[in-house]
C-alpha cells in the first residue's frame, strides 16, 4: 500500500513539498486510494454519481430543480463549533482573548492522534484551490486533503479548484495546507485547529461547511487575516456590491453585518421599481468575504476570494431575495432542507406549502420542530446570480468607495450615519452591535458587540487587528468613507420604521452622494447624518417616517457611547485566553 501511495503522490504534482506532504498524510491516515482532483466536469459527475449510489446525495425534482441535490448531515453536525475552534500560535497573546488558544505542539499531537488510520476504507482526495481569480495578485492558494466527496464537490463550487490552481501553486511554491477528515462525526472527537504561523489548518470530526470547506472561514478569514496583517492588506467578513447610477457610474461598497442582519439580501439587492425605471442597477461581487489591498492610486481595491455562495436557505424567498431564489433553481447542492412530496426543496419562509419530509428525512410533523434546519444551506456558483458582476473576475479587483457597518438595533442607533474620519470609522466598526432575539438566545434585546462582524473569524489579537486597520491612514491614502446603517429601528408599537429590502438603495444612494460630495450632512452625536430631505422618500415611507428612523435621543446616545467606549477598551486589552 505505501509503495502505491508514494507513486501516486509523487506523480500528482511537480512540487516536491506538496508531494511529500501528501505522502506524509497518506502514511498517517492510511486511505485505500489517493485521488488528485482536477476540477473537471467528468470528475464532478463521477463524484455525484458515487454519492447518489451510497445515499449521501439525493437528486431533486429534475423538472423544477435540474442538477440539484440534497445532502442530509448528521443531526449533531449542523453548524460551526466555535467552542472547539482554536488558533494555535507559539505565544498565547498572539491569538488574543478573542480566540481559544492551544500550544501548537499540543494541538498537532491531539489532531495527529485522531487522524491516525482515520481514512481506512476511504479515498484521500487532494484538492488544490485558489481563493480569488486565478490570475489575481490578490488571490492566495491552498490545498485541502479530505476524505469527503461532499467537501470536494462543494469546494469545486466555492473556489477555483483543480488543475489551474495546482499550476499556480507549483509556480509560487507556497500554499495553505488544510487537512480534513470526517472521522466518526462524533461531537466528542471534533476540533478545528488553525496554525497561522505555519499556514496550516487541521479539521476533524465534522462535515459541516464552515468546519470542512477549509477554503472558506478557516483560510479566507482566520488564516488570511493573519496573512493580511503580515503583508499589508485586509481580509474581512464583508459583502461587495456595485451600484450603477443612470449615468453609468459604478461605485463599489464593502459592508459588514453580523448574522441575521440582511447581509446576503443586501449583496443581491433589487432596486425599487422607480429606481429600475430610472436606470439604476446593482451588481453582486460577493456576499460574504472581501480581501482589500491598497493600490498604487492610494485606494483600497477588493476581490471576493470565493467563487460561489454557501447561503442560509430559511428566510430566502421571492420577497426577501428574489435574485438568490432565482439562482438556486438549478445546479445547486442543498444541505438540511425539507422536501415536498414531489422532491422539491423547502424551508420556512419560502412559501405556504407543507413539506412531506423534514431535514432529517422524517415525515414532517410540526411537533418535531422546523421542517428545515434553521442553518440549512445552499451551495451554488456565483455566476448563476442574476446580478453577478463580471468584474468579480477582474485580477486587480474593484475600487471600494465606501465601507458600511451595520447591526440589528430596535432603538438608539439611527438609520444611517457617516464616520467623521478613518479613525472614527474604525471605532464605529469595532463597537458595532446587534440585539439578540428569543430564537437565538432565549433573551430579547441583549446588546452583543461583534467588531467588524469578525468576532468568530479574526485569526489574531483584536488589539493588533484594530491597530492594523488604523495603520492604513497614511499620507497619500485615498481611503473609503465609512458609514453605519441600521435597517431595524422600531416604533413604540414594535413596528419597523424602515421597509428594508430593495428600499435600502435609498440609503446607499445617500452614501454615494456623500462619497461624491453632492450632498451636505449635519454633525450629530453618532457622526455625520443626512439633512432633512437628504434621503429620497418613496411610496412605502414618508419624509416624516425617515426623520423618525434618523432620530437620535441625546440621553440614549450618551449611554450608547459610554457602552461603546467600555467595549472598545475591553476589546483592545490583550489577555491570555482561558
105-117 tens-digit pLDDT: 999 999 999 999 9
CATH classification number, 2-64+83-232, choose in 3.40.50.1820, 3.40.449.10, 3.20.20.210, 3.30.365.10: 3.40.449.10
The three cell numbers of residue 570 are 475591553
Q: Is 504 annotated as a binding residue?
A: yes
Separation of alpha carbons 477 and 368, rounded Å:
56
Write out the DSSP string of 214-255.
TIIIIIIIIIHHHHHHHHT-EEES-EEEEEE-TTS-EEEEEE
Among this protein's residues, is 261 annotated catalytic? yes
Give the pLDDT score at 572: 52
Q: Is 378 annotated as a binding residue?
A: no
Give the pLDDT score at 443: 57
Q: Is 228 annotated as a binding residue?
A: no
Q: Is 217 annotated as a binding residue?
A: yes
Is 336 within 8 Å of 58 (Cβ atoms)? no
- E strands, 382-458, where? 398-406, 416-418, 433-435, 447-449
Q: Helix and strand tally (H, E) in the chain?
A: 18, 29
Give the pLDDT score at 200: 98
Residue 49: which H helix or E strand, with range?
A: helix 41-54
Q: Is 502 annotated as a binding residue?
A: yes
User: What pTM value is reported for the model?
Assistant: 0.94
Separation of alpha carbons 22 and 179, rounded Å:
10
Give the pLDDT score at 38: 97
Give the pLDDT score at 441: 40
The three cell numbers of residue 251 are 461605485
Q: Is 80 annotated as a binding residue?
A: yes
Give the pLDDT score at 560: 84
Output the CA torsion sign for 522, 524, 529, 530: negative
The domain segmentation of the chain, as residue ranges, is 2-64+83-232, 236-308+388-572, 309-384
Tally of residues, the chain: 578
Give the pLDDT score at 559: 86
- Out of 68, 261, 290, 458, which one is annotated catalytic? 261
CB neighbour list of residue 3: distance below 8 Å, 6 or more residues apart? none
Is 239 within 8 Å of 255 (Cβ atoms)? yes
Residue reference for cell 466528542: 188
CATH of domain 309-384: 2.170.8.10
Residue reference for cell 447581509: 263
Q: Is 195 annotated as a binding residue?
A: no
Separation of alpha carbons 267 and 273, rounded Å:
18
Give the pLDDT score at 445: 66
Q: Is 263 annotated as a binding residue?
A: yes
Q: Is 260 annotated as a binding residue?
A: yes
Is 253 within 8 Å of 403 (Cβ atoms)? yes
Q: Is 208 annotated as a binding residue?
A: yes
Q: Is 237 annotated as a binding residue?
A: yes
Q: Is 376 annotated as a binding residue?
A: yes
Output the CA torsion sign for 45, 48, 51, 53: negative
Q: Burial of 361 by CB count in 10 Å (0-12 exposed, 13-18 middle, 19+ buried)?
A: exposed
Output the CA torsion sign for 416, 421, 422, 425: negative
Q: Which of 76, 207, 62 is nearest to 149 (CA)?
A: 207
Q: Which of 239, 330, 332, 235 is nearest to 283 (CA)?
A: 239
The three cell numbers of residue 27 are 502514511
CATH classification number, 236-308+388-572, choose in 3.90.228.20, 3.40.640.10, 3.40.50.2300, 2.60.120.200: 3.90.228.20
Q: Is 377 annotated as a binding residue?
A: yes
Q: Burial of 61 by CB count in 10 Å (0-12 exposed, 13-18 middle, 19+ buried)?
A: middle
* Mean pLDDT, the chain cut into blocks of 10 residues (578 residues total): 39 92 98 98 98 98 98 94 96 96 98 98 98 98 98 98 98 98 96 98 96 97 98 98 97 92 92 96 98 97 98 94 97 98 98 98 98 96 98 98 95 95 97 68 69 96 96 96 96 92 96 97 95 88 89 88 74 41
Helix axes 149-158, 41-54, angle to 10 degrees: 140
Is 238 within 8 Å of 232 (Cβ atoms)? no
Amino acid at each position: 500500500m505505501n509503495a502505491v501511495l508514494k507513486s501516486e503522490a509523487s506523480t500528482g504534482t511537480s512540487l516536491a513539498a506538496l508531494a511529500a506532504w501528501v505522502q506524509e498524510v497518506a502514511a498517517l491516515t492510511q486511505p485505500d486510494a489517493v485521488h488528485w482532483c482536477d476540477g473537471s466536469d467528468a470528475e464532478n459527475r463521477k463524484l455525484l454519481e458515487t454519492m447518489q449510489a451510497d445515499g449521501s446525495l439525493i437528486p431533486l425534482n429534475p423538472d423544477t430543480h435540474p442538477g440539484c441535490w440534497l445532502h442530509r448531515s448528521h443531526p449533531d453536525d449542523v453548524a460551526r463549533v466555535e467552542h472547539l475552534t482554536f488558533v494555535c500560535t507559539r505565544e498565547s497573546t498572539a491569538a488574543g482573548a478573542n480566540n481559544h488558544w492551544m500550544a501548537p505542539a499540543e494541538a498537532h499531537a491531539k489532531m495527529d492522534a485522531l487522524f491516525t488510520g482515520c481514512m481506512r476504507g476511504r479515498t484521500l482526495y487532494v484538492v488544490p484551490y485558489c481563493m480569488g481569480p486565478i490570475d489575481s495578485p490578490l488571490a492566495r492558494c491552498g490545498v485541502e486533503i479530505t476524505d469527503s466527496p461532499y467537501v470536494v464537490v462543494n469546494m469545486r463550487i466555492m473556489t477555483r479548484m483543480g488543475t489551474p490552481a495546482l499550476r499556480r501553486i507549483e509556480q509560487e511554491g507556497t500554499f495553505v495546507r488544510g487537512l480534513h477528515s470526517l472521522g466518526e462525526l462524533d461531537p466528542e472527537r471534533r476540533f478545528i485547529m488553525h496554525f497561522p504561523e505555519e499556514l496550516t489548518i487541521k479539521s476533524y470530526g465534522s462535515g459541516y461547511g464552515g468546519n470542512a470547506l477549509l477554503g472558506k472561514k478557516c483560510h479566507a478569514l482566520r488564516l488570511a487575516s493573519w496573512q493580511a496583517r503580515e503583508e499589508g492588506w485586509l481580509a474581512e467578513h464583508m459583502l461587495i456590491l456595485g451600484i450603477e447610477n443612470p449615468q453609468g457610474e459604478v461605485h463599489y461598497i464593502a459592508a459588514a453585518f453580523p448574522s441575521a442582519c440582511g447581509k446576503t439580501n443586501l449583496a443581491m439587492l433589487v432596486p425599487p421599481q422607480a429606481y429600475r425605471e430610472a436606470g439604476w442597477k446593482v451588481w453582486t461581487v460577493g456576499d460574504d468575504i472581501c480581501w482589500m489591498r491598497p493600490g498604487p492610486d492610494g485606494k483600497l481595491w477588493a476581490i471576493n476570494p470565493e467563487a460561489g455562495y454557501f447561503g442560509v436557505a430559511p428566510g430566502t424567498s421571492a420577497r426577501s431575495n428574489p435574485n438568490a431564489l432565482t439562482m438556486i433553481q438549478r445546479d445547486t447542492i442543498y444541505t438540511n432542507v425539507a422536501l415536498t412530496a414531489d422532491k422539491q426543496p423547502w424551508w420556512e419562509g419560502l412559501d405556504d406549502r407543507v413539506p412531506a419530509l423534514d431535514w432529517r428525512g422524517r415525515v414532517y410533523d410540526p411537533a418535531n420542530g422546523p421542517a428545515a434546519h434553521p442553518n440549512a444551506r445552499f451551495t451554488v456558483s456565483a455566476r448563476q446570480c442574476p446580478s453577478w458582476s463580471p468584474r468579480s473576475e477582474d485580477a486587480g479587483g474593484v475600487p471600494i468607495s465606501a465601507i458600511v457597518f451595520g447591526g440589528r438595533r430596535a432603538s438608539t442607533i439611527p438609520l444611517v450615519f457617516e464616520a467623521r474620519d478613518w479613525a472614527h470609522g474604525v471605532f464605529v466598526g469595532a463597537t458595532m452591535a446587534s440585539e439578540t432575539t428569543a430564537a437565538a438566545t432565549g433573551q430579547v434585546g441583549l446588546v452583543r458587540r461583534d467588531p467588524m462582524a469578525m468576532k468568530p473569524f479574526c485569526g489574531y489579537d483584536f488589539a493588533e487587528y484594530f491597530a492594523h486597520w488604523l495603520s492604513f491612514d497614511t499620507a497619500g491614502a485615498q481611503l473609503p468613507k465609512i458609514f453605519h446603517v441600521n435597517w431595524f429601528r422600531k416604533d413604540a408599537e414594535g413596528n419597523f420604521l424602515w421597509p428594508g429590502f430593495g428600499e435600502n438603495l435609498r440609503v446607499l444612494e445617500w452614501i454615494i452622494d456623500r462619497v461624491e460630495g453632492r450632498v451636505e450632512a449635519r454633525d450629530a452625536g453618532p457622526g455625520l447624518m443626512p439633512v432633512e430631505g437628504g434621503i429620497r422618500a418613496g411610496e412605502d415611507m414618508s419624509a416624516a417616517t425617515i426623520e423618525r428612523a434618523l432620530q437620535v435621543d441625546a440621553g440614549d446616545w450618551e449611554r450608547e457611547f459610554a457602552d461603546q467606549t467600555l467595549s472598545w477598551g475591553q476589546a483592545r486589552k490583550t489577555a491570555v485566553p482561558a
